[in-house]
Structure 1
Amino acid sequence: MLIIFGGLPASGKSTIAGALARALGACYLRVDTIEQAILAHAPLAERDVGPAGYVALYRLAADNLRLGNMVITDSVNPLDVTRDAFRSVAIAAGRPFIEVEVACSNAATHRHRAETRQALAGESVPSWAEIEARRFEAWSADLRLDTFRLSVEDCVAQIAALTRSRADQA
C-alpha cells in the first residue's frame, strides 16, 4: 500500500508520517531528504532541483512497492500533477493507495510552528511568508487531518484504521 501525504510546510505532516511509519513498520520516503541530498552535491549555480526530488521519490516508492513494502511518501504534494504521479506509481505496482492531506486550521499556530521549528542538519526551512505564498491546489484526499484539533496519536490512529479498511477491501 502507498500512503501519500501532502500539506503545507509546518502543518505537521512529517511528524505524523514518521510516527505512522514507526507504528506500521512502513518504508518512509521524504522528498526534503532527497532534495537536500541533491542540493548538497549541486554546483552553486544549480541551486534549483526542479522536479528531480519528486521524480526520485516516485521511483523509490515504486521500487519499494514492487518489493511488497508498505510505503509512506512525505512531501508538500501541492499540485494535481504530483498527486496523479503518486497514484500512477501505486496503480502500476498493483497496490492500493491512500491520500492524506495534513493541515493546521489555526493560522497563528501554523505560523508559530513555522517560525520555531528546527531544521535538520544541512536543511533550510521556508519562512512563514514563503509558506503563505505557496500554491496548493484543492485536493479531494481520502482523509484530511487538522493538526490544530487532533494530536499526532489521533492522526496516526485514523490513518491506520483507514489503512486496515483498504487492505481488507483489496
Structure 2
Amino acid sequence: MTVTLICLSGLPGTGKSTIARHLAARVGALWLRVDAVEQAMRDSRMTVVGDLADGGYAALQAVAVAALEQGFDVVADCVNPVAETRAGWQAVSARTGARHLDVALTCADRDKHRARVEGRAPEVPGLVLPDWAVGMVRDWSPFHGADLHIDTGAVALEEAVARIDDRMRET
C-alpha cells in the first residue's frame, strides 16, 4: 500500500489546522503542524535570532520522511507561502515514494476571513498568532499548481474534509 503526503497550504485563518485535525482523524494519518514545531524551537534553549527562516519546515519535513517511510500517511499543516516551501514537500514525497496531494485553502469572503483571524485563540501553548495586518502582508504566491483548491469561506468543514479524502483515494 502506498502512503500519501497531503500538504495543506494557505494563509493564516483559512482553516488549515481545523481541516488537518479532522482529516487526520478520518483517514488515520499523522498530523504534522509547523506551528507546534516552530513554537517548540522558540521555547527551547537554542538561540533563535528573529525569524526561524526555514528551520521549522526542515524539521517537520524530516519527521514526515520518517513517518512516511514507516508506512504512515501524513497531513502537513503549513502556510507554504512560496514555491520553495512547496517544493520542499514535493521532495519529501519523491524521496519516500509517497503519493503527493497539494491542497490550497483560501477564504474568498474577506470579512469571514478577517473574523477568523481576529477571533481565534492559540491552540499551541505560547504561540503568538498573527493579527490580520501581519497575516495578510506575508509573502504569498498564488498556488496555481495545487491538486485541489478549496474556498473554506464557501464550504463547510465536513465537505472540505470529504473532498480531500475523495481526492486522496483517487490519486
* TM-score band w.r.t. shorter chain: over 0.9
Where in structure 2 are the equivalents of 1:16-95 lying within 5 Å? 16-42=19-45, 46-95=49-98
- Residues 1:145 and 2:150 are matched in the alignment: yes
Q: How far 1:48 sits from its partner (Å)?
A: 2.5
- After the TM superposition, which parts of structure 1 deviate over 6 Å for at least 4 consecutive aligned residues? none
- Partners of 1:44 and 1:123 lie apart in 2 by 17
Give aligned-pair identity as a percent.
Answer: 37
- Partners of 1:41 and 1:80 lie apart in 2 by 29
Q: Which amino acid aligns with 1:132?
A: M
Runs (5+) with no aligned partner, structure 1: none
Q: Which amino acid aligns with 1:122?
A: G
Q: How far 1:43 sits from its partner (Å)?
A: 6.1
Contact conserved, 1:39 with 1:47, CA < 8 A, in 2? no
Q: How far 1:45 sits from its partner (Å)?
A: 6.3
Q: How far 1:122 sits from its partner (Å)?
A: 1.1
Runs (5+) with no aligned partner, structure 2: none
- Partners of 1:22 and 1:113 lie apart in 2 by 23
The answer for the alignment partner of 2:112 in structure 1 is 109
- Partners of 1:3 and 1:150 lie apart in 2 by 19
DSSP-derived class of the 1:10 partner: coil
Contact conserved, 1:103 with 1:146, CA < 8 A, in 2? yes
Contact conserved, 1:8 with 1:76, CA < 8 A, in 2? yes
- Partners of 1:47 and 1:136 lie apart in 2 by 20
Q: Which amino acid aligns with 2:155?
A: L
Q: How far 1:47 sits from its partner (Å)?
A: 4.2
The answer for the alignment partner of 1:125 in structure 2 is 129
Q: Which amino acid aligns with 2:44?
A: H
The answer for the alignment partner of 2:169 in structure 1 is 164
Q: Which amino acid aligns with 1:86?
A: W
Q: How far 1:134 sits from its partner (Å)?
A: 1.3
- Partners of 1:133 and 1:93 lie apart in 2 by 34
Contact conserved, 2:42 with 2:48, CA < 8 A, in 1? no
